[in-house]
């Protein structure tokens, strides 16, 4: 089945917590920004849900219900249609607090795990004694201009380290959208792989498909172009194909990149690196089955034309395929 | 307006990262309730103490030499943060996780302040939880008043 990559913003706030947007304003801004859908993750409450259902119908922007547990020991994103109490979790009790969440089928994410906490941002730093099998996603990119933030570099390293330890944990991007920043800083999005033609669907149907994509880990993180990974196990070995999808029509264009480099990463380290993915935008690697290959992902790096800093940075990456 | 509950108190930094619960008995159901909540000071205005807390925070959060803060410092105003959430005899009635240090909230049969869930407040135990996310100043005075009124 043909699939599209649909840009979603999975971490937003309204006046129902400490955001500046009314629910209607948030959905209007989301439509103007070209998001196919947004997750509503107000701090510690689900009270915006009735308004948000109406706003999704009005704007055509799909709604993923959710909330952000804003505790003293970390912020936990929950995507799902039910409220769960956030006040019970102490640093050693996260597994217990998440048990009803997980049995309901809500999806769990560790928000901005290395963002400095008190006294700067209360509870923002992840201090939970964590069984990472309880966590579906790490928000490895938080905020605007995410690839440059030191706390995101550290989150990315944590994620790769957990993958190498064998955890099947995924990564995503969240803008932590509270207000219009008015700056020029670049946003990234979480791109959800949805069946093609989803653009003509009702928001409620897109919402259901998006939750399925989130459950199945069909998410890529990018400022625009999306590296797409295909794995085929054949008798001779594992065939890994990557192509960069530059036709999504959201955010940074491939033509705005210089010195682009496409890289296939794995638990065995870098498997291949292309110095000119712009022309080919395609890479095939064949690895023997005897290797202890456990996970593979792809990332696109480069310089952004006209960027005053001009430094080489991570532009996009996909979630791993597990071998 | 009938006063259903009133309390005030003083917190110190040692009260940070705690939930303080007040449980109020409502002999009969309530159609509309107004809650006034305030705390002071909001801002840590002592520059020496603010700098000390910033340095302690930087040492705590940039503790991995592979990921230095590159000299970028968060020099924003440091503030106390207390928030309220509510539970009635049947369950959760919402939370107001926001920054103003003076809040006038309402909880009514047909509507409620953003963050709160509208509906009649049933007779029984009504719980107010004050979540003390951060007290950075030497002391912080808070006051909570709840009134029963007509919408």
Question: How far is the C-alpha of B84 from the C-alpha of A149, rounded, in Å?
Answer: 32
CB B5 within 8 A of CB B146: yes
Q: Which is nearest to A23 in space by CA: A72, A75, A58?
A: A58
pLDDT level of residue A47 (50, 70, 90 thresholds): very high
Residue numbers in B near A73 (CB within 8 A): 17
Give the fold, CATH level 3, of B2-43+79-148: Jelly Rolls (2.60.120)
**For residue A1, what pLDDT is reported?**
62
> DSSP assignment, residue A146?
G
At B51, give phi and psi (nearest 5°): -65, -40
Under an 8 A CB cutoff, do A125 and B61 touch? yes
Cα of A178 to nearest chain B Cα, Å: 11
CB B71 within 8 A of CB B141: no
**For residue A281, what pLDDT is reported?**
60
- What is the pTM for the complete model shown? 0.96
Sequence-ordered list of residues with C-beta below 8 angstroms from that of B2, at least 6 positions apart, any chain: B147, B148, B149
3-state secondary structure of B140: strand
- Buried-state track A149-172, b at ≥16 Cβ within 10 A, e below 16: bbbbbbbbebbbebbeeebebbbb
**For residue A278, what pLDDT is reported?**
61
Considering only CB atoms, B19 lies closest to which of A48, A87, A114, namely: A87
**For residue B141, what pLDDT is reported?**
98
**For residue B112, what pLDDT is reported?**
98
CA contacts within 13 A on the Cβ side of A69? 30
Q: Where are the domains of chain B?
A: 2-43+79-148, 51-77
Residue ranges of E strands in chain A: 3-12, 37-40, 62-70, 75-79, 107-110, 137-142, 170-174, 189-195, 219-222, 226-233, 237-245, 257-266, 272-274, 282-288, 295-304, 313-318, 321-322
Cα end-to-end span (Å), chain A? 22
User: B87 to chain A: nearest residue by CA?
Assistant: A85
**Mean pLDDT across the stretch A104-131?**
97
Residue numbers in A near B16 (CB within 8 A): 72, 118
Does pLDDT of A277 surpass 80?
no
Choose the mutation target among B76, B84, B133, B135 for the interface with A, i.e. most A CBs under 10 Å. Answer: B133
Q: Which is nearest to A173 in space by CA: A193, A145, A195, A131?
A: A145
* Per-residue pLDDT tens digits for A146-198: 998 899 999 999 999 999 999 999 999 999 999 988 665 789 999 999 998 75
Complex ipTM value = 0.96
* Per-residue pLDDT tens digits for B41-64: 999 999 999 999 999 999 999 988
């Amino acid at each position: 089945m043909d699939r599209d990559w649909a840009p979603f913003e999975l971490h937003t706030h309204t006046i129902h917590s400490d955001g500046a947007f009314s629910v209607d304003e948030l959905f209007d801004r989301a439509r103007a920004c070209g998001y196919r859908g947004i997750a509503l993750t107000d701090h510690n409450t689900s009270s915006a849900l009735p308004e948000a259902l109406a706003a999704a119908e009005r704007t055509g922007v799909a709604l993923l219900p959710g909330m952000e547990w804003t505790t003293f020991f970390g912020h936990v994103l929950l995507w799902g249609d039910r409220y769960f109490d956030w006040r019970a979790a102490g640093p050693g009790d996260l597994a217990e607090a998440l048990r009803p969440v997980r049995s309901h089928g809500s999806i769990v994410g560790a928000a901005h795990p290395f963002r400095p906490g008190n006294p700067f941002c209360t509870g923002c730093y992840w201090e939970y004694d964590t069984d990472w099998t309880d966590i579906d996603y790490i928000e490895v990119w938080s905020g605007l201009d995410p690839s440059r933030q030191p706390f995101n570099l550290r989150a990315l390293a944590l994620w790769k380290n957990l993958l190498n330890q064998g955890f099947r944990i995924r990564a995503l991007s969240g803008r932590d959208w509270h207000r219009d920043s008015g700056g020029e800083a670049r946003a990234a999005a979480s791109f959800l792989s949805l069946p093609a033609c989803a653009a003509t669907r009702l928001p409620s149907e897109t919402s259901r498909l998006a939750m399925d994509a989130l459950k199945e880990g069909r998410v890529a993180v990018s400022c625009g172009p999306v590296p797409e990974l295909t794995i085929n196990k054949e008798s001779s070995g594992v065939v890994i194909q990557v192509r960069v999808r530059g036709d999504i029509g959201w955010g940074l264009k491939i033509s705005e990149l210089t010195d682009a480099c496409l890289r296939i990463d794995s638990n065995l380290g870098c498997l291949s690196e292309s110095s000119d993915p712009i022309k080919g935008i395609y890479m095939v690697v064949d690895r023997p089955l005897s290797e202890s290959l456990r996970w593979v992902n792809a990332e696109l790096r480069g310089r952004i034309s006209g960027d005053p800093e001009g430094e080489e940075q991570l532009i996009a990456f996909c979630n791993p395929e597990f071998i | 307006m009938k006063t259903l509950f009133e309390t005030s108190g003083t917190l110190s930094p040692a009260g940070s990262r705690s939930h303080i619960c007040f449980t109020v008995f409502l002999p009969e159901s309530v159609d509309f309730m107004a809650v006034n909540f305030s705390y002071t000071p909001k801002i840590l205005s002592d520059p020496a103490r603010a700098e000390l807390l910033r340095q302690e925070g930087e040492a705590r959060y940039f503790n991995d030499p592979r990921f230095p803060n590159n000299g970028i410092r968060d020099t924003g105003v440091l503030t106390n943060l207390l928030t309220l959430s509510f539970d009635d005899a049947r369950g959760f009635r919402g939370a107001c996780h926001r920054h103003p240090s003076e809040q006038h909230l309402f909880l009514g049969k047909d509507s409620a302040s953003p963050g709160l869930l509208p509906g009649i407040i049933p007779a029984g135990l009504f719980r107010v939880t004050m979540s003390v996310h951060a007290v950075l100043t030497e002391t912080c005075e808070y006051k909570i008043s709840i009134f029963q009124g007509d919408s």
